[in-house]
Amino acid sequence: MAGPEAASAIAEGRAAEKAGRLADALASYKRALAAAPADAEARRACSGLLARIGAEHQAAGRLQQAADAFDSALMLDDRNLGHALQLARLLMALGNPPAARHVLAHAERLAPNERAVASLQADVARMLGDWPELERVAVKLAEMTKSDPAAWRAVANARVQQGRYGPALEAFEKAIHKSPSAEDLVELARLALQALDFSRAEKAITEAEEIAPRSPAVLATKALLLTYQGKTQQAEEYCLRCLEIDPGFIQAYPQLSALRKGRLTPSEEEPLKVLVRNESASFAARATAGFVLAHSLDARGEVDLAFSEYERANSLSASRARAEGLVFDADGADAWTDHIIKTFRGAQARRAFAAPTPIFIVGLPRSGSTLIESVLEAHSKVASAGEAPMLPPMFNAWLKARGIDNDGVLTEEERGRFVETYLAGAPTDAAYFTDKNLLNIEAVGFAAQLFPSARFVNIRRNPLECGLAIYRQDFLKFWTFTTDLKSIGRRYTQYARLVAHWERHYPERFMTVQYETFTDNFEAEARRLVAFCGLEWEDACRDFQKAERVAATISAAQVREPVRRATARAEAYSKYLGPLREALAAGGVDLSTGALKGQG
């Protein structure tokens, strides 16, 4: 109970607050607290006033002052859930999600089953890219509100980001189980393709087509599925139907371009020419249009015009990435490569966990990795995990957390935890499976300890051909090095240094396949590849094109053709490749093989 001095100050404060004299009220409450620091009434009165002041700051747009006021209010009344939630919202608006997370952890302790708390925790997890945390709170939200599809969509998104496509598919089906729209079914079909569940994808897109047979999104997705199934003529027909309904449906053009080996008709090119020059359209849409238009010019042999369009498309793609703060830091990537090389010196794990054996296919994009995957996947003991996204984020977080002075050796506890997390997104119904995430080139020393029986197959291509092929491809925004020839050369050099390092320290487990040699001497090289992976030869590996299977890659049409070396283009574009050539030479990369000079 407050003494006379504190009680008098509280009364004065309430009178001043009622009269709107907030500064006087605050001064009175602070006198009360000075006289009786533990008095509950004084603390609540001052806390309430600070929240009121904070709300006024917020209404005036003074977010930092508002956050400071709510922070002080919560310190005085730490059981007040409303103060905690408002402070968390302000911290998020100020771009400080780690602080918001700390406040929300306190709020969760106050009200473990409060929906507003979990909803904000989900928003913070998205801001931080903390997908396990998003999954945790989204599952909690889904259990609280079983009829709310948004929660299950959040669960699905979190699982996709962790590479757990099968569980993501289950969550998304729960989100749309009541009267799904055609748009829902298209999204379901695309997610099923990521999960390599082709029968579910076909079922979903068939249902979508029954609901909306003239929907461009439905038709384009059906074309994608048909391409994966090897039904290229039908796939092309669906692309054309889509574009007949909506010539501006940009998502259909890359598919049609791939099916036609780049060739489009003048009438098909026209909407692309309009879009690529439309400055009110998004960078992403304009970049996609530019790449497809450039491919068509390239297919006609109009090299100069094609390169000009490739330059424009890459500039637009780079602008898209910069708008989201994504820029290739070549010096930083050099330092990261140095760190990896210094850290991993051939450490091997002695005990293997009972699990299927991964075969990691690594390298750079456009180097022939799909061909290697196709040969191995044709084997009766091998399944495919596609471009499994699980390993790189685990590796990056672990290496950053360990810091500079790191011996590169994982503990048994770490091994068990990482293996369990990785396998949650991998096929477990075969003795072996391929993982074609090319970013795993950085994580070889890490993965070698997780899976003592794993093999690493590096596919390497002539660096000028590979670099040009990368420059000609419309990559996701996260592949930031791909939009500039000099940056591609820098990245190739970093890759070549890693290859030389892994070859030196893991000679029995890391194999480099030279793309040109592999395609020119296919059967002998394929036999060597299969033997390296610890498998008996099967003729199906030689005849992989004949397999009745679905190939979840944009190169699905090519992998069903006879094996031959991709058309050389570097000579035709030679006069434009100076920045690439110079960067490779500066890095000591052999311009014929792509190996570091003196390293094989």
Full DSSP string of 173-191: HHHT-SS--HHHHHHHHHH
Final residue in a domain of this structure, among 205, 234, 259: 259
Claim to verify: residue 91 and residue 202 sit in the same structural domain = no
- The dihedral through the CA atoms of 575, 581, 582, 583 has a sign that is positive
Claim to verify: residue 74 and residue 119 sit in the same structural domain = yes
Claim to verify: residue 31 and residue 121 sit in the same structural domain = yes
Residue 512 φ then ψ, to 5°? -100, 125
Which tokens hold the place of 312?
Answer: 């424009």
Claim to verify: residue 294 and residue 252 sit in the same structural domain = no
Residue 170 placed within a domain: no
Contacts of 250 (CB under 8 A, 6+ apart): 275, 285, 288, 289
CATH value at residue 442: 3.40.50.300
Q: Residue written as tokens 């990795």?
A: 369
Residue 173 placed within a domain: no
Query: Whole-prediction pTM value?
Result: 0.81
CA distance 53 to 16: 14
**Is the distance from CB of 457 to CB of 448 less than 8 angstroms?**
no
Claim to verify: residue 237 and residue 267 sit in the same structural domain = no
**Is the distance from CB of 589 to CB of 496 less than 8 angstroms?**
yes
Q: Coil, strand or helix: which one is 460? A: strand
How far, in whole angstroms, is CA 484 from its chain's centroid?
Answer: 21
Residue 165 placed within a domain: no
Claim to verify: residue 184 and residue 90 sit in the same structural domain = no
CA distance 33 to 14: 14
CA distance 429 to 376: 16
| DSSP string for residues in 48-82 | HHHHHHHHHHHHTT-HHHHHHHHHHHHHH-TT-HH
Which is it for strands 510-514 and 432-435: parallel, antiparallel or unpaired? unpaired
Residue 12 placed within a domain: yes
pLDDT score of 566: 79
Give the H or E element holding residue 425: none
pLDDT score of 1: 47
Q: In tens digits, what is the pLDDT along the chain, a chain of 600 residues?
A: 457 888 888 898 899 989 989 999 889 888 888 888 888 888 998 999 899 999 999 999 999 999 999 999 999 999 999 999 999 999 999 999 999 999 999 999 999 999 999 999 999 999 988 888 999 999 999 988 877 899 999 999 998 887 788 889 999 999 998 889 999 999 999 999 988 889 999 999 999 999 999 999 999 999 999 998 889 999 999 999 999 999 999 999 999 999 999 999 999 999 999 999 999 999 999 999 999 999 999 999 999 999 999 999 999 999 999 988 889 999 999 999 999 999 998 877 777 776 789 999 999 999 999 999 999 999 999 999 888 888 998 999 999 998 888 889 999 999 999 999 899 878 778 899 999 999 999 999 999 999 999 999 999 999 999 999 999 999 877 789 999 999 999 999 999 999 999 999 999 999 999 999 999 999 999 999 999 999 999 999 999 987 665 555 555 555 556 677 778 899 999 999 999 999 999 999 999 999 998 765
Count of structural domains, the chain: 4
User: Among candidates 148, 114, 121, which has minimal Cα distance to 137?
Assistant: 121
Contacts of 405 (CB under 8 A, 6+ apart): none
The radius of gyration computed from the CA coordinates of the chain, to the nearest angstrom, equals: 29
Claim to verify: residue 568 and residue 445 sit in the same structural domain = yes
| DSSP string for residues in 92-144 | HHTT-HHHHHHHHHHHHHH-TT-HHHHHHHHHHHHHHT-HHHHHHHHHHHHHH
Residue 157 placed within a domain: no
Residue 290 placed within a domain: yes
pLDDT score of 558: 54
CA distance 215 to 209: 8
CA distance 457 to 264: 36
Claim to verify: residue 254 and residue 295 sit in the same structural domain = no
Within 390-521, where are the H helices? Answer: 391-402, 412-423, 444-450, 463-471, 485-505, 515-520
Residue 185 placed within a domain: yes
Claim to verify: residue 267 and residue 317 sit in the same structural domain = yes
CATH value at residue 43: 1.25.40.10
Claim to verify: residue 304 and residue 439 sit in the same structural domain = no
Residue span of the structural domain in which 217 resides: 180-259
